Amino acid sequence: MKHPLLKDAEERFQKSLSVCNEELAGLHAGRATPALVENVKVNYYGVPTPLKQLAVITAPQFNLLVIKPYDPASAGEIHKAILKANLGLGVQSDGKVVRATVPPLSEERRKQLVTRAKDICEQAKIAMRNVRRDINKRIEQLKKDGQLSEDDAFRLKDEILQQLRDYEKKVDELLDKKENELMNI
């Protein structure tokens, strides 16, 4: 049976990995994909709402996104939100449907996106290391309070470190995949 601290650490590592993956999905590689815009916040009746909750987002062509709002009256707000998000997309609206074209990326822009991807991944690793530090403090407190033996504390810290290394590898794999996607046309 896994110790509750190990379960807590794994859940928090997984959450950091998920956030990293979502942020990387928002970086486009010159290809249209719904992930580019699905988390854009749209002011829908005064409430910032993710676009994916307001519309169907499709990519009928490799460089075109078609966004069909459930409520056609919100097309204008969706248009404004995508422009405000500064994603480098060409956005057009006919009042019912919003179309976003994805321009081809220059070499310089690709390198900027790779740098941004590295920053996102580094932030995820920092968050994971902070989780490990917090769990280690809790282990030390349990040991100090006599609820955990010296050997058990050492074993738990070792297992937490191994979990951290496994999740850092997963982050590195995400980065490699995204870097290849960004640099290859």
pLDDT for the residue numbered 112: 84
Name the burial class of residue 43, with classes exposed (0-12), middle (13-18) and buried (19+) by CB atoms within 10 angstroms of its CB. Answer: middle
Considering all CA atoms of the chain, what is the largest pairwise distance in Å, rounded to the nearest integer? 68
Give pLDDT tens digits along the chain (185 positions).
678 888 999 999 999 999 998 888 777 666 778 878 888 888 888 888 888 888 999 888 888 889 899 988 888 888 888 888 877 788 888 888 999 888 877 788 788 888 989 999 999 999 999 999 999 999 999 999 989 899 999 999 999 999 999 999 999 999 999 888 888 75
Map out the domains of the chain with their CATH numbers: 4-25+106-183 (1.10.132.20), 34-101 (3.30.1360.40)
Q: How many angstroms separate the CA atoms of 26 and 49, rounded?
A: 16
pLDDT for the residue numbered 185: 59
pLDDT for the residue numbered 23: 85
